[in-house]
Amino acid sequence: MVEIDQQQKFQNKIDAEIKIEPKDWMPEAYRKNLIRQISQHAHSEVIGMQPEGNWITRAPSLRRKAILLAKVQDEGGHGLYLYSTAETLGITREEMINALQDGSARYASIFNYPTQTWADVGAIGWLVDGAAIVNQISLQRTSYGPYSRSMVRICKEESFHQRQGYELMLTLSRGSEAQKAMAQDSLNRFYWPSLMMFGPHDTESAHSASSMKWKVKRETNDDLRQKFIDQTAPQIEFLGLQHPDKDLKWNDEKGQFDSGEINWDEFWRVINGDGHCNRQRVQHHINAHKEGAWVREAMASYQQKKKSKAA
């Protein structure tokens, strides 16, 4: 009876747009769902450093290198805000890292695709950060206070990432024939995986119903994907590139584009561990984490020393 009362009070708060804070009562399923989504989001930011990090030493100019270094560093920072946000729900950083490394936690499937050319750095900034922003603008209004606040700051930084990516693609597409071809090839490879970032169709989405009820998610996977499709089509046109979706067609009645179908077999294969780079990405994380053990130990012993001095 007390539990039912609490459930009702909780839902009333959500319906009244009052944020849920770490010390507030919350249903166990809400807490678990948030830990799942926020930790996966954090892992995506951190694993997402790898495909672009691959190009830092090969950036074509000092300006491009400085921009890329700053961007990759920002993604690491986003991971840290999000791990801290998830920790407010009672899980430790160590537990989350273990889940990433043993394969029980997911991260965005897009990062299992290789970055084969310099244009991929532009395509990731433009399309991957672009898709992330569409989702994250919506998540700024999520019901859990710490997640909502972390999204506000992250969106500001992602906006700079998206612009630098588009500017890079613009430079290539206005360059030599070879540069334009490189930009087109990159768009062809990254367009469909970017649409997959929004998750399965609403009818197939296991968590959407409860996440929408609890206002963890404010818009559905398909609605957000449609926004991204609609905003990207004119951007492709402005670049003077061919749209990778041959079925894309403006629908006057709906006021939006109709589009071709995503390859869902590929989506499920990649998120279940069989993409081009899944094993390499996780192994790289394990190696980097092991190499950084001495830093964590040094920090812990410094903290210990400070504590015993203060005592």
Closest to ligand FAQ by CB, 128 or 183: 128
- Show contacts with ligand FAQ in window 64-103 (CB under 6 A): 75
Candidate list 86, 124, 127, 182; residue touching ligand FAQ; CB under 6 A: 124
Phi/psi at 142 (5° precision) = -60, 155
Instruction: Tell me how far apart the alpha carbons of residues 125 and 168 are, in angstroms, rounded to a whole number.
Output: 9
Closest to ligand FAQ by CB, 28 or 253: 28
Closest to ligand FAQ by CB, 154 or 183: 154
Instruction: Tell me how far apart the alpha carbons of residues 226 and 256 are, in angstroms, rounded to a whole number.
Output: 8
Candidate list 44, 150, 164, 194; residue touching ligand FAQ; CB under 6 A: 44
Residue 271 token pair: 């998120």
Q: CB–CB of 51/124 below 8 Å? A: yes
Instruction: Tell me how far apart the alpha carbons of residues 190 and 227 are, in angstroms, rounded to a whole number.
Output: 17
288 Cβ contact list (under 8 Å, min separation 6): none
- Show contacts with ligand FAQ in window 188-217 (CB under 6 A): 196-200, 205-208, 211
Closest to ligand FAQ by CB, 125 or 249: 125
Closest to ligand FAQ by CB, 149 or 180: 149
Instruction: Tell me how far apart the alpha carbons of residues 116 and 45 are, in angstroms, rounded to a whole number.
Output: 20
Candidate list 14, 20, 45, 146; residue touching ligand FAQ; CB under 6 A: 45
Residue 218 token pair: 């404010």
- Cβ at position 248, least distance to ligand FAQ in Å: 21
Interface with ligand FAQ, residue 165, by CB under 6 A: no
